[in-house]
Chain A
């Protein structure tokens, strides 16, 4: 993760924090932006599962 999903500031600064973790097949990144203080999780999902409408 190179940029904050909230403010767009670089997450590659010394102060900001990015930590990878896995949830099943989904690759997650917990991101804390030192510029705007936003704590977020960015998910790179293995697949997107949607609902199936009734038919």
Chain B
């Protein structure tokens, strides 16, 4: 168990909380590229209500939701050639928050020069809009490899999940759940549905797991039954990228699962996929974006695929998992290490230091380690992942199958 006080410290993300202050030292995806348009939209990040827009000059802005004039919501507004105009009385603001115009005030008034909306810096990269809500100077936006590869296809799935982000992150340092949640439970559902025998790959038993804190977060390694320490699952492993991402995949197929805290009880989950077969992929005009559904037509949680099973496990832990009631064992050491890492990094921020994964120098790309032959075989893992992950909802799913050219596996029913 964890004390109630430590659980609050671990899970509260609002301004002024220790975790909220830590998380405000990072750039966060606040939207996909298609959300930043001339139509202002409401977004919520780290417990703060925001408005995102793209003005006529193409500049993307992110302002606090309430207009500093009479507090109407700025999503009730119009984008102009420059800036966003409040729909209530026409005050206009640029992306720095500076008030540019107050139509109802006397022409000679200098009042506007003293008015600013709360504004946050944004940058676009790889089909996502990133925002920084922390103290100046902002660090560099990390150019992680998947965001910047030029010879890869991408697609972006996303969903709002009604639970705290930490319980989702903990799943990423909990290797044993794979063989049970996806192996046994997933196969159980296949039996009930008459969809054939157990899934390959995810049913393999874990022999050994290891976790290592390194420059990008926590590197996770495993040895599966029938494999050895010479296999890439152990020799290379794959990372939890601190504080908010999992990197997972196999040769040519690499995904970031990005967990964006909306507030204490909700998380925007982004599945950021890249497809990069040997020799590279042909140019892609734009990055497709799609919503990942949580429920079927009967209103039941979808759990007949790997990501759906994860989602339901996370959500059913509660809006904020009550860690005073849990019972951890040795198989939870990865989870414990992650909690300790959050505690340590909160303390660094409280001491005035930059936390782990803060980049102050411009850079071209940050390469992350990830095994190519995952669970023994890149092809088998790709066959599984392209069918049993959120990729099943991608609008370019069939083109992805063609891009890799992997044979249809026998277990597909």
Chain A residues with CB under 8 Å of chain B are 14-23, 30, 32, 34, 39
Contact = CB atoms under 8 A, between A and B. Distances in A.
A8 B225 CA distance: 43
A14 B6 CA distance: 8
B9 A21 contact: no
Nearest to A35: B347
Given A15-B343, A17-B339, A21-B328, 17 more contacts: A14-B18, A15-B350, A16-B343, A17-B6, A18-B3, A19-B2, A19-B339, A20-B328, A21-B329, A22-B328, A22-B329, A23-B329, A30-B336, A32-B340, A34-B343, A34-B344, A34-B347
A32 B328 contact: no
Interface string B313-344: 00000000000000111101100100110011
Nearest to A28: B330
A31 to B, nearest CB: 9
A39 to B, nearest CB: 7
A48 to B, nearest CB: 19
B9 A14 contact: yes
Contacts of A22: 327-330
A21 B328 CA distance: 5
A19 B336 contact: yes
B13 interface: no
Interface string B327-369: 1111011001001100110110010000000000000000000
B330 A15 contact: no
Nearest to B329: A22
B1 interface: yes
Interface centre among B18, B328, B350 (most CB of A within 10 A): B328
Contacts of A20: 1-2, 328
Contacts of A34: 343-344, 347
Contacts of B330: 21-23
A21 B350 contact: no
A23 B388 CA distance: 34
A30 B18 contact: no
Nearest to B339: A19
B333 A21 contact: yes
A15 B347 contact: yes
28 contacts: A14-B9, A14-B18, A15-B343, A15-B346, A15-B347, A15-B350, A16-B343, A17-B340, A17-B343, A17-B344, A19-B328, A19-B336, A19-B339, A19-B340, A20-B2, A20-B328, A21-B328, A21-B330, A21-B332, A21-B333, A22-B327, A22-B329, A23-B330, A30-B336, A30-B340, A34-B343, A34-B344, A34-B347
A1 B328 CA distance: 17
B1 to A, nearest CB: 6
B212 to A, nearest CB: 13
A32 B1 contact: no
A49 B205 CA distance: 30
A32 B329 contact: no
Nearest to A20: B1
B280 to A, nearest CB: 43
Contacts of B343: 15-17, 32, 34
A50 B336 CA distance: 29
Q: Which of A19, A20, A21, A34 has the most C-beta atoms of chain B within 10 angstroms of its own C-beta?
A: A19
Nearest to A16: B343
Contacts of B327: 22
Residue from A14, A16, A18, A21 whose CB has the most chain B CB atoms within 10 Å: A21
A17 B332 CA distance: 16
A47 B319 CA distance: 39
Contact of A32 (B333, B344, B350): B344
